[in-house]
Structure 1
């Protein structure tokens, strides 16, 4: 009888041990893009840096002959150093121009030279890595871009640096338009972070609609995973902006400082798009012209962060910091930061 009781006690204690919360918890990555030309962007970083894993300032562009042109913000750089905030500069093909991309990517020697220049910049600045943001419908050099990313990864990985790549969202394979230039499977294999820019579903030339409807964002995640990309590499690009259509004009981006003024001017009450899980405003201005503004709020942000958890993604990237509501950061802290566990 004593043996049976002893065995039961051992089982109970061992079971309790396995039910204890883990003491190791991997927080989600929060990448924040900061734009030098907008002082509000840097102010937002200063205010919320404790919740930012990596800051990615938009400092670099490459011209058609392969020169890496830097416009470094010394104030941001000093702030990052003082606060132990990792910096991963963003680099673009100048103006997102097709001719620039073609000139850089079609020739193996040019790809090598540009990759070496990026490596030198990262090492000289002691940055943690680079964020590649080549965009445009440069379909003719799609394979060249893949080889270029592979080359940058090989060079930077030799020095323990990381490489992230930004890709335009797609829900199925295509070889046309801005999304067609990205070979998801090949890029996802070599980079450290695969950043899906899950916004601009309704873009500048589209009719009024949501910037990042949840159903579509989820489809972009599922497609990326279907291409063999490990969820722990995937970063979900989140919009901190809206889009504003006035009459039949093209939609333009609107950030929160301006949005707050519009709300106050017209005394707007937000509506909710149930399918898109997105808020919007619809109103007539003083000229009788219909206006539509789709944007993000804490409710729509929370809906998208649920997808990060659902699919086990690495985290989020925010385009871009610019006077967003404090509630956004409260939700990010709640959803993406480590849970507090009791210690012995």
Structure 2
């Protein structure tokens, strides 16, 4: 009996031993860090020999750079988005431009030469080149005009760029360790770090920290391998460009004067005689006349002379309203922009204008970059000739972000908010042209991007009479724009006494006639005063008004209380 038990016990012991070995082995495998290494070319998404990964700050970008003859090239969109938005690539004429406060720097495709205005300068590398449909800019050239440092590292190719300076969080490595692709000991190893080296800490978890190594890897290391987090100040010697602006030592009180022919210029003095406190007038003299950059011109020397005699500055307005003109087709060509700016400056000098007011409306999204480049280039010529540059803008909304108000606020002298057309001809519902909340939001959102001393808010001297006709379930809405006096007369003639509406900051009137309902949100002394209070509250540079001749003469007593 005993002889039979012994083999069974031995078998059981062997089974237990085998199970123990398996359990221990499993535990060892589970808790032993993997020594597998990540495929670095895959990590950096490199597929071509001349490609380089690009790390900016603590971000590994999807976009790749190029290595050509030991020169690092960064694609244009990356340069614009991350490093310096003032670089501009003209894909029509194959030019790379960079605009300073005083000059346009220009380089031709595949050239080692560039021009600062007319002065030729040469480098030992091609300044920018094409690869397929993508433009690439030599980072050494970008660095000339940008506060950045970069380091190129090979095998695999990668360039890391530092362009934000100040306090940086880092930690010292207190024990040799591995930086892994993800947090966890089973994640492949990206690189090793030695005791005493430093890593930049991006974020810290419970057991693992996301770090950026000194040689360009972004991954994870165990917290226990690091000392306490510290900060250090980083900086680089670099002189940022200084954009000087003309700033009047008084509040601007501008009125636009719509001029559609030479004869209309003769009405200026008569119209101004009915105003008070106007110090600036902007006649609608110039328009893009074709897709080549030419302008039509209704300027008048006597007009300017008479305005100056009564102490009023003249800012000639240029618009893009002519039917058939494609603003993008003009602004996206450097030669056409130059033609346009030269004509505007020549006219300003010829007619002794004090300023140029740019009123380009309904720009397509693709026209955004060419537009702001046009403003930069025009600002240089205005700055050199002592001509004020102002730019008209919609109340900020997502659809107009491409107008780049922030850059306008740097390079132009004044940024004007067209604080009206909240509801406009073609709106799907009746409503105010410029309710108080709409105007307030416009000012507040503009001030997020533009200094208050450069912001002028424009008010309307018109309102809309809305006509609503109901037929079954359908409501047809139309409107007509009327001046202040005419709108009030329309209500009076229909027996309506308007009632003050606190929400819109306007008097509201409504009446029925011939099967239609008419609605009017008036602009008059009280509504304009509420808007003027905002201009004072936010300490803006002044007020503009559209347009001369639509106002009641009494409105000027209201305006001058706040600007004079």
TM-score between both structures, scaled by the size of structure 2: 0.51
**Contact 1:168–1:197 (8 Å) recurs in 2:** yes
Give a deviation string over 1:161-187, Cα, whole Å, max 9, x none.
11000001115xx2x3xx244111111
Q: CA RMSD in A?
A: 2.1
Secondary structure of the residue that 2:491 maps to in structure 1? helix
User: Does residue 1:230 correspond to 2:451, yes or no?
Assistant: yes
Residue of structure 1 in register with 2:90 after alignment: none
Secondary structure of the residue that 1:88 maps to in structure 2? strand
The residue correspondences of 1:158-237 to structure 2 (distance < 5 A) are 158-171=384-397, 174=398, 176=399, 179-206=400-427, 207-227=429-449, 229-237=450-458
Change (3 A) 1:74 1:122: closer
Q: Structure 2: 5+ residue runs without aligned partners?
A: 1-247, 469-475
Residue of structure 2 in register with 1:54 after alignment: 280
Change (3 A) 1:306 1:196: same
The residue correspondences of 1:1-344 to structure 2 (distance < 5 A) are 26-37=249-260, 43-48=270-275, 50-63=276-289, 64-72=291-299, 76-95=303-322, 99-171=325-397, 174=398, 176=399, 179-206=400-427, 207-227=429-449, 229-247=450-468, 248-285=476-513, 287-337=514-564
**What's the offset of the Cα at 1:239?**
0.7
Q: Distance in 1 between matches of 2:300 and 2:467?
A: 35
Q: Distance in 2 between matches of 1:36 and 1:264?
A: 31
Residue of structure 2 in register with 1:7 after alignment: none
Give a deviation string over 1:43-75, Cα, whole Å, max 9, x none.
432321x51111001111012221111123566
Moved more, 146-155 or 133-142: 133-142
Give the number of equivalent residue pairs.
304
Higher strand share: 2
Q: Structure 1: 5+ residue runs without aligned partners?
A: 1-24, 338-344
**What's the offset of the Cα at 1:32?**
0.6
Q: Distance in 2 between matches of 1:298 and 1:267?
A: 21
**What's the offset of the Cα at 1:298?**
1.0
Moved more, 229-238 or 239-248: 239-248
Q: Distance in 2 between matches of 1:323 and 1:239?
A: 9
**Contact 1:35–1:41 (8 Å) recurs in 2:** no
Secondary structure of the residue that 1:321 maps to in structure 2? coil
Give a deviation string over 1:97-116, Cα, whole Å, max 9, x none.
6x521111111111111111
**Contact 1:40–1:323 (8 Å) recurs in 2:** no
Give a deviation string over 1:129-153, Cα, whole Å, max 9, x none.
1000011132111000000001101
**Contact 1:96–1:136 (8 Å) recurs in 2:** no
Change (3 A) 1:43 1:283: farther
Q: Which has the higher contact order (CA 8 A, sep 6+)?
A: 1
Secondary structure of the residue that 1:283 maps to in structure 2? strand
Residue of structure 2 in register with 1:341 after alignment: none
- Tell which structure's C-alpha radius of gyration is larger: 2
Q: Distance in 1 between matches of 2:279 and 2:311?
A: 10
Give a deviation string over 1:74-107, Cα, whole Å, max 9, x none.
664453143232111110013376x521111111
